[in-house]
Structure 1
């Protein structure tokens, strides 16, 4: 396109646009005599872009961290648990049949699997090593329907737990603390003792390590051991009772609603809890931290956005003669106000869009960028010894991006109110007196 045709195109475009918008846009990209104004405009754009980018990346990491922990916790824990108000659940087969007989449409989310379990405390010993653990008695086939432990086995198999064999599956950190490997023996002591002439003696049974799992959560890897449910019933003298029934849902976020629906279907004789109650404080803490991080980083955007105030105040002073001439040519105060609102809004929009694009790109590639930074500078952001997870996860939520972009643009528009109002109130005669 030639220079003449391009000038004609700009003229035609100017004729179609409101003159306030056209002049405001020209002011934004014009080369000013006062370079300090241009510098402040540039720093405002950069500040808004960095703030928006930081907000998107940090919230994406928080979302990823929360999602990763939720998956790891619920890979071992249950979505819903059905228990009795007494110590055990004696009629668990009947309860399972009741739940299976309920039409799937009666639930907000279908029940994908059920498994009975026995939960008890115990102490594992080998040589001089002693570790307190949670013992979970399971039926391996049904357990695979409600947890991901079968797919998290480092060595051995979950199906190696067989009734009467007295095999045991340990978490990786627990096995390391006891110093045992596959095929070696450990001794399990149950705190419920038996009375003998010599006094109260704890029940003791030797188990063979038939598997080691690792889910990536220290709480489970260092404190959970699995045995067959029949072996647990014998050791803890549960008889035909179990501690409860674990349920897995198609949609874990419907657990709260489904638990209420189950309570109505089964009646008041059962105690029903879901993962949102069992781990409520943990996930509330993450959510609170996310809100606090949003507020703190939003202040960065706010500071950068309100730099627009100083930019426009100096621009109004610099354009006194232009404003006066426009007023004498018939421009209304509202038109003058809109010119400087457009100028400030363009600074905010350019900074916001730039930051949003950079933030989205970084959030989508953070699992590649962070390892590169760790290798290049020989640092580690998340130590396995301190944090639940060692990798920095990221989950971009477009609702967060929309909220951040909207907040940034609104703050930019708010920042234009005072300077544009000052320009609209300018007296043309006073402005021209010193020109």
Structure 2
């Protein structure tokens, strides 16, 4: 091979055909290079698994947050309006004025109270009764569109209740059965205050997919709830649902003006600040920890290239004596190492996307295989394992993996470029 053959021609791009050819030959497995090929394979697998794991974990955590947010904001209002002076006895006109604020979808007057719910099984459990009107009940689409048994049609006239599927299972109840509610604030008698209790027929069983809500929330017609909690003609709060939950700060002043009275406003971020802050911290920590997997794989690239440079010392010396420049040798080994990183990253992206698209099926398969529940709804609030990939996040993972792979090639490639041909061929 002549000197002209190894020099990079003008306009050949960052890598010449000669450099690509030599790099490809070094990547191919040979019998005598078994150890080097094994290290390269381990590096490839490490980067692939690291990238895939990062994508999968980030997607699952994004999906987990999005699903929780959807369910929390589908059941609870984005803005909670409470009176400062007295209970809302004029809640109908106040809710109507608030609904007229641009950006507000609807305002729901609400009566809430803690009760003890008892059925046919077990000692009973604590529950939250929410009294809403027939019309407002249909506005809660997350509940009204997920009724598994019964119907919410004519909810107010039925004088019955709607409960979650998990509560029905826990208490051994079915559609039409009676559920006894016991409230501590009851009737005042000469012997003191006695708890108020009443049995209501179950007219609907819903399942929103969040175990905490499916096991603890009971919906009661507004008029019936007012009577049960001794709140005839008044409500404690008005829950406001807006078009853009992230822009609730812009609606605070218009809602205060529309209420035309002193009110206390609490938004969904204040009510769930600790929970979502913990999710964000956990997400950031997991990203940092899983990045170490990619870093370890990049270190394997360094060790593999160093061994390759040591093994190919004679070849490098011959190339240098034939006219190859030190920069050309450096590019050859950079290309060899970077190819492992690029291919591993691309394979990891494909693997991550495939797993994210089928994550719930994979969870069910491993649950069946192990005979255990791998994603317990009692612990994780959701009944299914969600995954939501973010394009910008995936791109950042890919760029991070490629940059680490490229940086891992610099030192071995520099050592190859600095190899002295005379020393390398002295004992040949």
Between 268-277 and 130-139, report the one with greater CA deviation.
Answer: 268-277
Residue equivalent to 1:272: 265
Residue equivalent to 1:334: 327
Residue equivalent to 1:188: 181
Residue equivalent to 1:99: 98
Choose the corresponding residue for 1:146, options 118, 140, 143: 140
In 1: Cα distance, 2:66 partner to 2:131 partner: 28
In 1: Cα distance, 2:169 partner to 2:82 partner: 33
- TM-superposed deviation, 1:45: 1.0
Q: Secondary structure at the match of 2:156?
A: coil
> Could you tell me whether the CA contact under 8 Å between 1:190 and 1:203 is conserved in 2?
yes
In 2: Cα distance, 1:401 partner to 1:184 partner: 50
5 Å-filtered alignment, 1:19-58, equals 19=16, 21-22=19-20, 25-31=23-29, 33-58=32-57
- TM-superposed deviation, 1:238: 2.5
Which blocks of at least 5 consecutive residues in structure 1 are unaligned? 1-11, 105-109
In 1: Cα distance, 2:212 partner to 2:363 partner: 26
Measured on the aligned residues, the alpha-carbon RMSD in Å equals 3.0
Q: Secondary structure at the match of 2:346?
A: helix
> Could you tell me whether the CA contact under 8 Å between 2:212 and 2:378 is conserved in 1?
no
Residue equivalent to 1:218: 211
Q: What are the superposed Cα offsets for residues 256-304 of structure 1, whole Å, 9 maximum, x if unpaired?
A: 4224423355249322233333223223333333333322222111111
In 2: Cα distance, 1:79 partner to 1:226 partner: 19
Q: What are the superposed Cα offsets for residues 24-74 of structure 1, whole Å, 9 maximum, x if unpaired?
A: 633543455433212211221122112222222222222233333333333
Q: What are the superposed Cα offsets for residues 131-170 of structure 1, whole Å, 9 maximum, x if unpaired?
A: 332111101212321342122223222234326x642222
TM-score normalized by structure 2?
Answer: 0.85
Which blocks of at least 5 consecutive residues in structure 2 are unaligned? 1-7
Q: What are the superposed Cα offsets for residues 231-258 of structure 1, whole Å, 9 maximum, x if unpaired?
A: 22223232432122223333xxx32422
- TM-superposed deviation, 1:376: 5.4
In 2: Cα distance, 1:151 partner to 1:215 partner: 9
Choose the corresponding residue for 2:156, options 156, 162, 167: 162
Residue equivalent to 2:415: 422
Residue equivalent to 2:68: 69
- TM-superposed deviation, 1:118: 1.0
Choose the corresponding residue for 1:349, options 342, 345, 348: 342
- TM-superposed deviation, 1:372: 4.0
In 2: Cα distance, 1:307 partner to 1:274 partner: 50
| Matched positions, count | 414
5 Å-filtered alignment, 1:375-394, equals 375=368, 378=371, 380-384=373-377, 386-394=379-387
Q: Secondary structure at the match of 1:183?
A: coil
Residue equivalent to 1:137: 131
TM-score normalized by structure 1?
Answer: 0.84
Residue equivalent to 1:262: 252
In 2: Cα distance, 1:343 partner to 1:290 partner: 34
In 2: Cα distance, 1:75 partner to 1:43 partner: 47
In 1: Cα distance, 2:270 partner to 2:277 partner: 11
> Could you tell me whether the CA contact under 8 Å between 2:163 and 2:218 is conserved in 1?
yes
Change (3 A) 1:375 1:190: closer
In 2: Cα distance, 1:46 partner to 1:209 partner: 56
Change (3 A) 1:153 1:26: closer
> Could you tell me whether the CA contact under 8 Å between 2:211 and 2:378 is conserved in 1?
no
Change (3 A) 1:256 1:66: closer
